[in-house]
Structure 1
């Protein structure tokens, strides 16, 4: 079983952090290095984290320059063969998930799976609108981010630090860079994460969309990106029409 480094970024989220920690410490796979990067929380978050200090490999609590700066701190401390980000409020899908992921096809550069969405009351919203593709490579994001950050395990030797010039969508750039280096990408065909809807990219939705457009243009070209966004818009309309008919 390879060693997996799981990194949790948190700031003032005392309500949700314990649920995230338990989803990791309860894994049947024990070859896990768990790193928590706290942005100097003042609401009791750190006290909750410290309750699990015997099960958390490394705890850092200090101010940072934003979420991707905090993620880079976690990457700098990571020693695992693979890395996974499970931010505060999110969960690994069930206690067997990590073990099942690595048992699916030993030796891949990237493993990915499906994500289940939850609202602020932790009510199940079902699968993401952008379903995980059957086959994934660095071009797969051209019609939208169809794999969530919490649902992708990446070999640490092919990752780079997050580009801090992006404030809201650097995770997209980070995954594409890694996927370009990967020679073996495996769909594990199961749910691997529970995602709490929200976060900075949702709160700053317009700015996030601008960054995404710029990132996709960098990798896919301006004209293809404009064409792809027309397809995204069409798919979005069809999705909401279908959802509306279902509700009616």
Structure 2
């Protein structure tokens, strides 16, 4: 172990990984105010159905939110995600930025997920495997466990670009929500780059949470994910933040890679319907206007599914990728 900062007792467990380059044996002091809508805790309270927990915190190692090295916290929620989880973990622990806190919330997996998590236990700050009440509940557990200044959430079948966290840190202080572009993969063989824009949020879901980093202070002020929604909970949160005047900062680089076979893709109709309800509740627009837009989105998705069935979507991706005037960023791959 190598001492990096004598005054703060920061040292290096392993220089190889972003999550083990700056640790401390000094347990952080957690301060929760009565008005905070999200509280912070280092460990989740015990539950009867808990399968296991572990990580660096359980070994007495913690992270520090340093002045010149802000701590980035990352959450992965997973349930039976053995197929791609290792790639997701690799994309976090192999970041070029070196003050990273990693939290994994497992919903009580019955496949090989726990074996993969245990394999990387020495690079994960805290992980727990237990039942939950859905994706929003798992997200919110992770947020409560984060001690970093900025928080990102990456799905168990997606992965970050290797310099993603450096790009976020370079823009910290400019906004409370920092986001970038993402590569959207179809059938693990071809991708299309998406360019989200926050100003379009009142119209539709134009941003996906894996490419978004949010300040912990914003969660404390405005709350976390609503348990009412099962698919579009990230849209509700981002639109709520936008409507409350939160500052969004866009990075014109690819931050994440997202696969097309996630939960929101398999239940796309439910997600679109939830978006429709969310817009009605938050925007307060006319019912007919929002319903027409909902129908148009459904039709557009059905056409896309027909193209996939006819094996034409790859062709469309190829044309857009090769003839778009915007230069594409080659994705970083792990494993």
TM-score class normalised by the smaller sequence = 0.7 to 0.9
Aligned equivalent of 2:74: 6
Between 1 and 2, higher relative CO (CA 8 Å, sep ≥ 6) is seen in 1
Cα gap change, 1:161 to 1:116, in 2 (>3 Å) = same
Using the TM superposition, give the Cα deviation of residue 101 of structure 1 relative to its aligned residue in structure 2, in angstroms.
2.1
Alignment deviations for residues 15-46 of structure 1 (CA, whole Å, 9 cap, x no partner): 10000000000001111110000111111111
8 Å CA contact 2:73, 2:148 repeated in 1 = yes
Larger radius of gyration: 2
Q: Which residue number corresponds to residue 170 of structure 1?
A: 233
CA contact (8 A) 2:273 2:294 kept: no
Q: Distance in 2 between matches of 1:221 and 1:213?
A: 11
Give ranges in structure 2 of 5+ residues lacking alignment. 1-68, 308-315, 321-335
- Is the CA contact 1:68–1:164 (under 8 Å) kept in the aligned structure 2? yes
Secondary structure of 1:29's partner?
coil
CA contact (8 A) 2:276 2:291 kept: no
Question: The residue matched to 2:127 in structure 1 has which SS?
Answer: strand
How far 1:144 moved relative to its partner?
A: 2.1
1:8/1:86 contact within 8 Å kept: yes
Aligned to 1:156: 216
Question: In structure 2, what is the equivalent of residue 92 of structure 1?
Answer: 160
Write the distance in 1 (CA, Å) between the matches of 2:174 and 2:77.
27
Question: Which of 158, 164, 182 is matched with 1:115 structurally?
Answer: 182
From 260, 263, 279, the equivalent of 1:197 is 260
User: Which of structure 1's runs of 4+ aligned residues deviate more than 6 A?
Assistant: none
1:68 is matched with 136
Please say if 1:222 is aligned against 2:285: yes
Which among 190, 196, 200 is matched to residue 132 of structure 1? 196
Cα RMSD over matched residues? 2.8
Task: Specify the alignment match of 1:17 in structure 2.
Answer: 85
Number of positions where the alignment pairs a residue of Structure 1 with one of Structure 2: 237
